[in-house]
Homo-oligomer: A and B are copies of this chain.
Amino acid sequence: MGKNLTKREVDYSKWYNELVVKADLAENSAVRGCMVIKPYGYAIWEKMQAELDRMFKETGHENAYFPLFVPKSLFEAEEKNAEGFAKECAVVTHYRLQNDPDNEGKLRVDPAAKLEEELVVRPTSEAIIWNTFKGWVQSYRDLPLLINQWANVVRWEMRTRLFLRTAEFLWQEGHTAHATKKEALTEALQMQKVYAEFAENFMAMPVIKGAKSESERFAGADETYTIEALMQDGKALQAGTSHFLGQNFAKAFDVKYTSKEGKQEYVWATSWGVSTRLIGGLIMTHSDDFGLVLPPKLAPIQVVIVPIYKGDEQLAAISEKVDVFVKELRAKGISVKFDTRDTYRPGAKFAEYELKGVPVRIAFGKRDLENNTVEIARRDTLEKQTVAQDNVVEFVSNLLEEIQENLFNRAITYREEHTTEVDTFEEFKDAIENKGGFVSAHWDGTIETEDKIKELTKATIRCIPLENKFEDGKCVFTGAPSKKRVLFAKSY
């Protein structure tokens, strides 16, 4: 019953690290900062991928694949982008190992196999993709170009945490080219909306849509749109970003098109991505001291059935009854596991599925055989209920929807309770330090003030919310005039 799990209020960070490993989601590897995503964690990622991929295709995007490596000369072509990622690049310098003459049985880099030009392992693919787009775009007929890639990327981060920040991670990166600025802006905002819908409707994780302040923008972007979620410890998580890249990459890689009027114009660009970091957000939005809590729409196993029996005969009798509703549940597209392993006791199985966050657990014992009932437990509230076998299919279908909804509502309530509007810096500091969560405050729009606030409170501007109205106010730190509240928080 998650009894070995550190309690959240004792040490949230420890709770998270333990949970990821104990729930069989991921583990650290022999490579510094790189994780192994275990089958159960990867199954969640596959469910995320399937939904996102469908949403990308429905909005007209096609998948493609570009090289893992970026030659240094391409990498440095867009200066701001290069500057932003140069400090954390894995670099391939050689293409061969040889026997080490000083160390029998060991290998060393073959000094004769030095690459003429170093290759950067992609931290993001704008450079290699825009160098390719150059060949794909000639005329307005070739636009828009709406491409997505599912890939691994590498950023040599110094402090890493499973899913949240790893040296290698899996993600998708959309890269689009458009004839006009307006179209590109519309695309960037559309994809932010797609991300928000995915987060809320599938992950049951409420998000704030906003724009990043200049200092938090993607390196090489003119505007970065973000979705920001609030974790249970009051820290914000940047869950997905969509960038309006202006003509920065088009100019760096000389990507022009001939307009209908026969003029040569630079194209306009966007890029957008979400990653395996989402799994970290999923965990920290819903899970509890007993283990993982998964929203039904992304749970690899939605319903688990645990038989409680003595002897093969009783198991056979239970199985016969169970098979009836398992078939019906599966026919409705619900994923069901009937756990008949005889190497574990029911109590151990209960603990395992609680830890792994399976939304619905059905226990079927001797008394249920006699009464034609089952016991159904929901993972989100841990409540149990006895249900007639005839009603299992309807009950479970409804319950899965209810759990999905309840998780979202619970998270919304938490966020509302942890969003504070403040008008003085005293209130600001108090909210950040003692309450946590989002703090909505006026800001004078300067990087200096942003930096100072960060220095004093560790809080950063998470976003300038799109839905915030204009209002006259004064910067919470400098008193200078401000037109719009922005959202601050400590963050992952």
Q: In the assembled complex, which residues on chain B have CB atoms less than 8 Å from the CB atom of A131?
A: 30
> In the complex, what distance in Å separates the CA atom of A16 from the CA atom of B411?
55
With A31-B119, A75-B107, A92-B91 as known contacts, state yes or no: A168 contacts B343, CB within 8 Å.
no
Q: In the assembled complex, which residues on chain B have CB atoms less than 8 Å from the CB atom of A29?
A: 66-67, 128, 132
Q: In the assembled complex, which residues on chain B have CB atoms less than 8 Å from the CB atom of A70?
A: 31
Cβ-defined contact, A91 with B86, below 8 A? no
Cβ-defined contact, B106 with A96, below 8 A? no
With A39-B62, A92-B90, A118-B109 as known contacts, state yes or no: A141 contacts B343, CB within 8 Å.
yes
Cβ-defined contact, B95 with A88, below 8 A? yes
Cβ-defined contact, B36 with A132, below 8 A? yes
Q: Least Cβ distance of A358 to chain B in Å?
A: 16
Q: Say how many copies of this protein the assembly contains.
A: 2
Q: Which of B31, B64, B65, B75 contacts A69 (CB 8 A)?
A: B31
With A29-B128, A106-B76, A141-B343 as known contacts, state yes or no: A34 contacts B98, CB within 8 Å.
no
> In the complex, what distance in Å separates the CA atom of A35 from the CA atom of B105?
34
Asked if A401 is at the interface of the complex by the 8 Å CB criterion, the answer is no
Asked if A63 is at the interface of the complex by the 8 Å CB criterion, the answer is yes
Q: Least Cβ distance of A345 to chain B in Å?
A: 14
Residue of B nearest to A157 (CB): B95
Cβ-defined contact, A94 with B96, below 8 A? no
Q: Least Cβ distance of A148 to chain B in Å?
A: 9
With A38-B64, A65-B36, A69-B34 as known contacts, state yes or no: A95 contacts B106, CB within 8 Å.
no
Cβ-defined contact, B65 with A170, below 8 A? yes
With A36-B132, A37-B65, A68-B168 as known contacts, state yes or no: A94 contacts B97, CB within 8 Å.
no
0 or 1 for each of A9-50: is its CB under 8 Å from B? (1 = yes): 000000000000000000101110011111100110110000
Cβ-defined contact, A89 with B93, below 8 A? no
> In the complex, what distance in Å separates the CA atom of A74 from the CA atom of B32?
13
Asked if A82 is at the interface of the complex by the 8 Å CB criterion, the answer is yes
Name A119-133 residues within 8 Å CB distance of B.
119-121, 128, 131-132
Cβ-defined contact, B76 with A107, below 8 A? yes
Residue of B nearest to A166 (CB): B67
Q: Which of B30, B82, B93 contacts A91 (CB 8 A)?
A: B93
Asked if A179 is at the interface of the complex by the 8 Å CB criterion, the answer is no
* Interface residues of A, dominant DSSP: mixed
Q: Least Cβ distance of A84 to chain B in Å?
A: 11
Asked if A482 is at the interface of the complex by the 8 Å CB criterion, the answer is no
Residue of B nearest to A90 (CB): B92
Q: Least Cβ distance of A37 to chain B in Å?
A: 4
Asked if A156 is at the interface of the complex by the 8 Å CB criterion, the answer is yes
Cβ-defined contact, B120 with A168, below 8 A? no
Q: Which of B91, B98, B107 contacts A94 (CB 8 A)?
A: B91
Asked if A483 is at the interface of the complex by the 8 Å CB criterion, the answer is no
> In the complex, what distance in Å separates the CA atom of A76 from the CA atom of B70?
27
> In the complex, what distance in Å separates the CA atom of A82 from the CA atom of B82?
34
Asked if A147 is at the interface of the complex by the 8 Å CB criterion, the answer is yes
Asked if A416 is at the interface of the complex by the 8 Å CB criterion, the answer is no
Cβ-defined contact, B94 with A93, below 8 A? yes
Asked if A79 is at the interface of the complex by the 8 Å CB criterion, the answer is yes
Q: In the assembled complex, which residues on chain B have CB atoms less than 8 Å from the CB atom of A46?
A: 63
Q: Which of A36, A67, A94, A156 has the largest number of chain B CB atoms within 10 A?
A: A67
Asked if A87 is at the interface of the complex by the 8 Å CB criterion, the answer is yes
Asked if A72 is at the interface of the complex by the 8 Å CB criterion, the answer is yes
Q: Which of B37, B63, B79 contacts A64 (CB 8 A)?
A: B37
Asked if A204 is at the interface of the complex by the 8 Å CB criterion, the answer is no
Q: Which of A43, A92, A141 has the largest number of chain B CB atoms within 10 A?
A: A92
Cβ-defined contact, B79 with A97, below 8 A? no
> In the complex, what distance in Å separates the CA atom of A131 from the CA atom of B151?
24
With A105-B79, A107-B75, A120-B97 as known contacts, state yes or no: A154 contacts B63, CB within 8 Å.
no
With contacts A75-B107, A152-B152 known, what are 15 further pairs, Cβ within 8 A? A35-B67, A36-B65, A37-B64, A45-B65, A65-B170, A68-B121, A68-B168, A72-B97, A72-B107, A86-B96, A89-B97, A90-B119, A91-B94, A92-B93, A92-B121
**Between-chain CB contacts (< 8 Å), 9 pairs:** A30-B74, A30-B132, A34-B67, A36-B64, A82-B97, A87-B96, A91-B92, A91-B109, A93-B93
* Nearest 3 interchain pairs by C-beta: A39-B62, A34-B67, A37-B65
